Amino acid sequence: MKDAGKYLIPFTWMQYTTSSRDSLNQAVESYTSNGTLWGSLEDLGGNRGNGLGGPQTEKTATVRIRQLPALAAKDRLTDTRTGITYEIDSIYPDWQANETVCTVARRGVNGG
């Protein structure tokens, strides 16, 4: 299997769904476990900004997932070694390398 050794991190894939509405008619976000994916993680850095009425921080990274699963923006990937959860911001398939490249952020999830 070509390049199997570069995907050393098992990630739990949590697929984003909106299945219901709350009493204020806001969509209730929920996530369904969709199995384990193997990938690599490249930390890019941190950002500071204001959002939701106060200072916010986020750590961005690039995750490369082996093969081409049907990931989507807002899905989450949890590094099973550390328990850190990343939310997918953008995604693109690298057909030549047979991998999926995700730009992810750790914000407000597991100490983000």
pLDDT band at 51 (very low <50, low <70, confident <90, very high): low
pLDDT at 1: 47
pLDDT per position as a tens digit, 22-35: 888 887 888 889 99
CA-CA distance, 25 to 12, in Å (whole number)?
Answer: 30
CA-CA distance, 70 to 68, in Å (whole number)?
Answer: 7
Mean pLDDT, rounded, for 15-20: 82
pLDDT at 60: 86
Between 16 and 4, where is the model more confident? 16
What domains can you pick out in the chain, each with its CATH number? 4-106 (2.40.10.270)
pLDDT per position as a tens digit, 74-91: 999 999 998 999 999 999
Mean pLDDT, rounded, for 2-14: 82
Report residue 100 as tokens. 């999926």
